[in-house]
Amino acid sequence: SKSPSPRLSMPVRYFIMKSSNLHNLDISQQKGIWSTTPSNERKLNKAFRESVMVYLIFSVQGSGHFQGFARMSSEIGSEQSQCWGSPGLGGVFKVDWIRKQSIPFWSAQHLLNPWNDNKKVQ
């Protein structure tokens, strides 16, 4: 008998991605790519391998808003991109943008993260 797929253990995962500026989100939407710090890469690649779907919810640091969300559509590779102009980023991976819209944190204040001491999602 075949063992169940590991992708079924956590069918959908969600991550909040903080960007240093709105320009990086524009680049991401135009090119369908994203890059994060090396410390996040292992966590995101593991989620991509073990889940059916990985959603990334984007927020620009200090904005008090979510700016949209995308689906992770590839693992993070070793190739880096010069698009961001930010040192310290890791490899590039593909994302499929679903929606880009500014939503204030207060409109999601009812959402609590059970894996982060039930703190508000922002």
CATH code for position 70: 3.10.590.10
Burial of 122 (0-12, 13-18, 19+ CB in 10 A): middle
- The answer to the question of residue 1 being in a domain is no
* Total domains present in the chain: 1
The answer to the question of residue 59 being in a domain is yes
Taken in order 97, 111, 117, 12, the sign of the CA dihedral is negative
Q: The whole model's pTM is what? A: 0.83
Please give the backbone phi and psi of residue 93, each rounded to the nearest 5 degrees, phi first: -140, 160
| Domain assignment present for 91 | yes
Residue 57 lies in a domain: yes
Asked whether residue 1 carries a pLDDT value surpassing 50, the answer given is no
Q: Measured in Å, how far apart are the chain's first and last C-alpha atoms?
A: 43
Q: Does 7 map to a domain?
A: no
Query: What is the band of 10 on the pLDDT scale with cuts at 50, 70, 90?
Result: low
For 34-67, write each residue's pLDDT tens digit: 999 888 999 999 999 999 999 999 999 999 889 9
Range of the domain at 86: 12-120
What is the predicted pLDDT for the residue at 88?
81
pLDDT above 80 for 6:
no
Please check whether residue 104 lies inside any domain of the structure: yes
